[in-house]
Amino acid sequence: MLKDLKELKNKAQEEVKQANTLRELERISKEYLGKKGELTQILHSLKDLPKTSRAEVGKETNEIREFLKAEIDKKVSGLEETDKKEEEKKEWIDISTPAPKPNLGHLHPLTILKRKIEEIFNNMGFATIEGPEVENEWYNFDALNIPKNHPARDAWDTLWLKDDDLLLRTHTSPVQIRYMEKHQPPLRIIVPGKTFRRDATDASHDVQFFQIEGLMIDKEVSAANFKAVIQEFFRQFFAKPIKVRLRPGFFPFVEPGFEIDMSCLVCGGKGCSTCQKTGWIEMMGAGMVHPNVLKAAGLNPKHWQGFAFGMGMDRLVMMKYKINDIRLFNSGDLRFLKQF
């Protein structure tokens, strides 16, 4: 019997040695030490042995049990250790690898070209000025010689705020008055900024858009000076010579007033669908500042004169970048924005 036990021990020991997975070791443990395991069964059958050998066999079996248990535990922790190392190897980080590039944003197309426009005018001596987006009736209409019954004051055109007198400015022209009130001529300014109208939106109209106002006041300023300034601006902005023409146009705050056209960039002035076959595109309103406007701002029209102009900045940017829908600017659509 003792000899059988010795063989059993050797056999089990060999199996443990060969095992190289936790699962195999579990099976071996079950086979020898489990409830129905071989060593457990020997212990159960001790009572059938002659009294003389019972104690010795029992002792030996228990020793083998303890030994085998220890061997299995040792092997299990050995395997667990190598598993851990394997895991760690897989998790290894190469700290010399360059980090992924951060996803940088960039300026909005309107901002890019607003800066360009400012640069061109600043170089011609015009200062960049800002004014409030919420205006009152005096600055937006009265001071600009727009009569009380003018349709522009209608609730259909202007966004009125609850407070009776306040509105979202319909143009940047009120800043002319605000600036002349506080500064003595000679002066040259441009005013880029947001403007608002109760327009139905379509490809060329939005409720919010940008304008650039211009104002030059001095002792002797003529419409010819205006034409030269604006022609030079277009030449620099579009990076090619542009023809400009002045047509008579009416705005209450200028006298005389003009509509300014530039030669169509798409067809080079020959006539196409963009310019409705005329070869010209309407770009802005302008004129010689009306004496009433100078008076409203506290200047004497006998001493001072000048020109003013106002252009749609979105329109200008659309022409430059060949964008066909004004609503894209505020759409937040990255497919559009990423192109600039």
Residue 319 CB, nearest distance to ligand DAH (Å)?
17
Bridge-based pairing state of the strands 244-248 and 254-263: antiparallel
Task: State whether residue 127 is helix, strand or coil.
Answer: strand
Phi, psi (5° rounding) for residue 279?
85, -5
Residue 202 CB, nearest distance to ligand DAH (Å)?
18
Determine whether 211 is an active site residue: yes
> Which one from 65, 171, 290, 315 is the annotated catalytic residue?
171
> Which one from 65, 153, 197, 315 is the annotated catalytic residue?
197
Stretches 75-83, 158-166, 225-233, 304-312: which one binds ligand DAH (CB under 6 A)?
A: 304-312
Q: How many CB atoms lie within 10 A of CB 192?
A: 20
DSSP letter at 205 equals B
Residue 173 interacts with ligand DAH (CB under 6 A)? Answer: yes
Q: Pick one of 126, 209, 210, 309: the residue that binds ligand DAH (CB under 6 A).
A: 309
- CA neighbor of 306 nearest in space, from 222, 185, 181, 230: 222
> Which one from 16, 254, 286, 289 is the annotated catalytic residue?
254
Stretches 69-77, 91-99, 292-300, 307-315: which one binds ligand DAH (CB under 6 A)?
A: 307-315
Residue 251 CB, nearest distance to ligand DAH (Å)?
4
Record the tokens describing residue 328, joined without a space: 């894209």
Stretches 5-13, 108-116, 184-192, 302-310: which one binds ligand DAH (CB under 6 A)?
A: 302-310
Residue 174 interacts with ligand DAH (CB under 6 A)? Answer: no
By the 8 A CB rule, do 80 and 180 touch?
Answer: no
Per-residue binding string, ligand DAH, 199-218, x by CB under 6 A, is --------------x-----
Residue 304 CB, nearest distance to ligand DAH (Å)?
16
Q: Pick one of 75, 114, 171, 188: the residue that binds ligand DAH (CB under 6 A).
A: 171
Stretches 8-16, 74-82, 217-225, 306-314: which one binds ligand DAH (CB under 6 A)?
A: 306-314
Residue 291 CB, nearest distance to ligand DAH (Å)?
14
- CA neighbor of 308 nearest in space, from 262, 260, 261: 260
Per-residue binding string, ligand DAH, 252-291, x by CB under 6 A, is --x------------------------------xxx----
Cβ density class 296-316: b for 16+ within 10 Å, e for less: bbebeeeebbbbbbbbbbbbb
- Between 32 and 210, whose beta carbon lies closer to ligand DAH? 210
- CA neighbor of 194 nearest in space, from 306, 312, 281: 312
By the 8 A CB rule, do 165 and 136 touch?
Answer: yes
Q: Pick one of 121, 139, 210, 251: the residue that binds ligand DAH (CB under 6 A).
A: 251
Phi, psi (5° rounding) for residue 251?
-140, 130
Q: Pick one of 153, 310, 315, 326: the residue that binds ligand DAH (CB under 6 A).
A: 310
User: DSSP E strands: which ranges in 48-182?
Assistant: 127-128, 134-136, 159-160, 166-168
Helix 22-33 vs helix 51-90: crossing angle, to nearest 10: 170
186 preceded by a cis bond (ω within 30 of 0): yes
- Between 233 and 309, whose beta carbon lies closer to ligand DAH? 309
Determine whether 156 is an active site residue: yes
Q: What is the DSSP string of 141-165?
A: TGGGT--TT-GGGSTTTSEE-SSTT
Determine whether 308 is an active site residue: yes
Residue 135 interacts with ligand DAH (CB under 6 A)? Answer: no
Point out which residues bind ligand DAH (CB under 6 A). 171, 173, 213, 251, 254, 285-287, 308-310
Which residues belong to the active site?
156, 171, 197, 211, 254, 308
